[in-house]
Each structure stands twice: as structure tokens, then as C-alpha cells.
Amino acid sequence: MRKNNCLPKGTKSKPWAFLVVLMLMGTMCFAQSIHFNYTDGTNASYNLEDVRKITFDADVMNLHFWDGSLYAWNVSTIGNYQYDESSVNLQEWLNNANAWEFSVFPNPTSTSLNVRFNLPKEDEISIALYDIQGKLILEKKMGQKISGEHQETRDLHDLPPGSYVCRITGKQNSITKQVIKQ
């Protein structure tokens, strides 16, 4: 897990920093990446499809990624930011996302998990299981799959009981379902 704390703890944030996050959250449906320019002259860019959630600890903004990594910095170090929007029409994106069918069963499970999905068109697919903190537990890159129904079974014997998130990802869409391991 990587942290990038640019300023000492206790440094006060600028009020506009919280507006930045609210604007990001409102555009996540169609924004592709966010670019930060920091007051120390450095910069960073992040693909928003990789961001699981954004949290705050006092003046520290945390980006939690699906792979379990965490990037954190004091919000007062953000000089400016910009995001790049996708050229995909929002309605088209919603129609494609809603066309995916995805189920996990049995749920709750104690031994194995069946992942069934129906693709409206050919896509490159991967299936991943994350723990509640966002750490990647299992992943299978299934490659190019034709349109239609598919099913994959994953052995969960070695996993401890708890809540997990199963995520199926294509080139432009991803869907998650909660999984309970008993």
C-alpha cells in the first residue's frame, strides 16, 4: 500500500477541496481520468475506472483503488486539477451497462461460487474477487468472449468467512455484486 503524504499532519485544507471531490463524484459516470497538479510542482493522473472509493481523514484525501492500493495526500497540496471526459454519450453508456446481466450463486456460499453473465456484444472479460478493504483476492482473465451467456465457477474453500465483492469487467463496463462466504 502506497501513501503520498505531501504535508505534515495538522495542516489545514482549503474549503474548495471538498467541492473538487463532490464534482468528481458527480462526473464519475463519464469521466475517464483526473489530473492533479500539486503546489510543490509535481503532478499525478488517475484512471477513474480504477478508483473504488474516495475518503477523507481530516485534511487527507484518500483514493482507494480496486487493486487494494491507496494514494493519500493533504488536500491543501492540490494546486489545481482537471478531468478528461469520455466521448461516449452518457445515454449510450447507460444502455450498454444496463444490457449486461450478471448473477452470483449460491450466495451466501461456503464452498464454490458460480458467476453467470450474459454479454450483449463480444468483449474482453475478467472476473475478480475483492475483500471488504478492496484488496484483490482472486482474478481470472477470461479473454475475449462472444456475446451470449457464460458461466465460471470459482473455488472459495480457502477463503475465510466474510463479505466480498465480485467484479466482472469488460473494456467499457464493470459490474459488482456482494458475495457472502460462510
- Going from the N-terminus, what domains does the chain have, and what CATH number goes with each? 16-85 (2.30.30), 90-181 (2.60.40.2550)
Query: Residue 30, Cα to own-chain centre: how many angstroms?
Result: 14
Copy the grid coordinates of residue 97: 451497462
Contact 11, 19 (CB under 8 A): no
Q: How far apart are CA 125 and CA 110, in angstroms?
A: 25
User: Could you report the per-residue pLDDT of 127-172, keeping only the tens digit for each?
Assistant: 999 998 889 999 999 999 998 899 999 999 999 999 999 989 888 7
Residue 120: asked if its preceding bond is cis (omega within 30°), the reply is no
Residue whose C-alpha cell is 458467476: 115
From the list 48, 51, 21, the residue with the least C-alpha distance to 33 is: 48
Q: 113 pairs with which residues across the strands? A: 154
On the CB side of 94, CA atoms within 13 Å amount to: 5
Evaluate if residue 18 carries a pLDDT over 70: no
pLDDT average, residue stretch 91-101: 65
Name the H helices within the chain: 16-27, 90-99
pTM here is 0.51
Q: How far apart are CA 124 and CA 43, in angstroms?
A: 31
Evaluate if residue 14 carries a pLDDT over 80: no
